[in-house]
Structure 1
């Protein structure tokens, strides 16, 4: 079968499409569910792994791919799944292939109103958003949140899940094109990254926001802290901007604000059944249409390297998806 593989840690353009053996029902860790993959979501961990810069560092050659959607080929009894089921799934690596084998904890029912491309855009980003907003952020209905990098995959997912919980959302973007993506995802307001601190203060009547979800880091971090209202909290999700910022804790003391880490993968992978619980929380939002993943570019599996290169150059809008079937 075809698979998008890293054979050397030289970045996106070194990704190769190779023929490898299909997985079997008896995996390394025991019986597993086999999925015929229809679509693969392109994710930031894929980009980092292509360079050897992610915390998970498999030895080359290895197959990329975190998020997938497809149809179950076979499933052991007692897993709750059966051949023919439409599913989305999430694993650490190995998804960018024609057939994937996974345990039941990593697989979720895909509602009929969502396409395979949308299904491949869901797991990591939307489960991350749910974790950030509820498990770590304790979002309450009626609160106002600020989303940095609002036009990206995690950003748009955060907007939609926050709207599902009844929050007001302000998105921070770097262009009018990205502002349209964020608004289409459901953002109530958008502001340009240049001067966003003052714009947010104006939009909130000088009060600030209850929560900032920050996937960017870098130079905007301090101004993000300054947009918080009293007892506001800033959720650190990632560093797409490259630089890892530092916090002067006297600012937290003076303003009664929090900075909280929010590493979904580390938390979820250690708790069997947690991702399924999160998915059940999100299913009503999928059914109502609040969750409607904005798909950006759609490429063939052979274009995995190109898709990752565009992500590296910060050209990605919404979620990039690869078609497999």
Structure 2
């Protein structure tokens, strides 16, 4: 089968398509024919050897996919022909992938496989952030940075379903309009020099009760200037390429909390099962409508990752990986 394989050294320039053996399924895994593969910022970090998960090189890259079950263990809840989406530790950018049964999600009725590929990471992360870490309530005002990105837009939809007031921030008017279309109430361009003052004005000087930040860097540092008393600042990632240097006195004076947003299936199985049930309910009620950017096929993976790194993506970047449709050409 074809797969995108890391080189012996870090860097996108060392990625290459190779013919490798079909992975062998065991009792814990499904063999899935990959139809679509989704991009995550952590893919860039893993390829650069700067992510907390560092597979031995060479490895097949890719951490999120949707596809059709080809083979399943005896007694599995899944069977050949079932449509599933899943996070994988790595190995997703290939014609076939092994999917842990406890990570697999049935594709919701009415969802395309491309939309389903957007669910396992971004929506789970947004739910962990807002539901578990922040305990968001309808009385809260939540500011969501990079609100037109994968996690940001998922968070907008989840916060809207919750009934919270949403301040969306992004780097362009086009991206802000995307966030508005998915439920945001107030729009702020964080490239404006006075964006902090804009947030204070929107909130009547109180600040945002919850701030969800996948950006980091200077945006994160300035966020504490407009956090409310007893506010919750959620650290989701560092897409700016820089970690924020938080001023502890701002947390102290506002009695605010900085909370890291992290999850994995090995330590959080019960939590994730509950959130999956909640996500299924939100989907059934019509609150979830993933925006997917399908401009690239999997054969153009390096270009797609470059678009992700340079913030040229709205919503979730999802690559067609169907070999029968020439996706690997």
The match for 1:244 is 243
Range moving further from structure 2, 237-246 or 209-218:
237-246
Contact kept, 8 Å, 1:49 with 1:56, in 2: the verdict is yes
Contact kept, 8 Å, 1:14 with 1:305, in 2: the verdict is no
Contact kept, 8 Å, 2:86 with 2:104, in 1: the verdict is yes
1:4 to 2:4 alignment: yes
Q: Whose relative contact order is higher, 1 or 2, with alpha carbons under 8 Å and at least 6 apart? A: 1
The match for 2:211 is 212
Contact kept, 8 Å, 2:217 with 2:245, in 1: the verdict is no
Measure, in 1, the Cα distance between the counterparts of 2:106 and 2:270: 14
Measure, in 1, the Cα distance between the counterparts of 2:88 and 2:299: 20
Measure, in 1, the Cα distance between the counterparts of 2:25 and 2:253: 57
Change (3 A) 1:275 1:77: farther
Secondary structure of the 2:125 match is: helix
Change (3 A) 1:148 1:31: closer
Contact kept, 8 Å, 1:132 with 1:264, in 2: the verdict is no
Measure, in 2, the Cα distance between the counterparts of 1:286 and 1:9: 41
Measure, in 1, the Cα distance between the counterparts of 2:87 and 2:302: 20
Q: CA deviation at 1:221?
A: 2.0
CA offsets 1:136-194 (integer angstroms, 9 cap, x no match): 11111231100111111111111111122222211111111211222223212210102
1:299 to 2:296 alignment: yes
Change (3 A) 1:78 1:125: same
Contact kept, 8 Å, 2:7 with 2:15, in 1: the verdict is yes
The match for 1:17 is 17
**What is the Cα-based RMSD across aligned positions, in Å?**
1.6
Secondary structure of the 1:134 match is: helix
Contact kept, 8 Å, 2:88 with 2:100, in 1: the verdict is no
Change (3 A) 1:48 1:77: same
Change (3 A) 1:275 1:121: same
Contact kept, 8 Å, 2:294 with 2:320, in 1: the verdict is no
What are the equivalent positions in structure 2 for 1:82-231 lying under 5 Å apart? 82-193=79-190, 194=192, 195-231=194-230
Secondary structure of the 1:139 match is: coil
Measure, in 1, the Cα distance between the counterparts of 2:187 and 2:159: 15
Q: TM-score scaled to structure 1, two decimals?
A: 0.93
The match for 2:327 is none
Measure, in 2, the Cα distance between the counterparts of 1:155 and 1:261: 16
Q: TM-score scaled to structure 2, two decimals?
A: 0.92
Q: CA deviation at 1:273?
A: 4.7
Residue-pair matches, total = 320
Contact kept, 8 Å, 2:307 with 2:313, in 1: the verdict is yes
Q: CA deviation at 1:94?
A: 0.6
Q: CA deviation at 1:246?
A: 2.1
CA offsets 1:234-273 (integer angstroms, 9 cap, x no match): 01111111222222322222112111111224xx432335
Structure 1, unmatched stretches of 5+, are none
1:75 to 2:72 alignment: yes
What are the equivalent positions in structure 2 for 1:302-317 lying under 5 Å apart? 302-317=299-314
Q: CA deviation at 1:67?
A: 0.9
Measure, in 1, the Cα distance between the counterparts of 2:249 and 2:317: 40
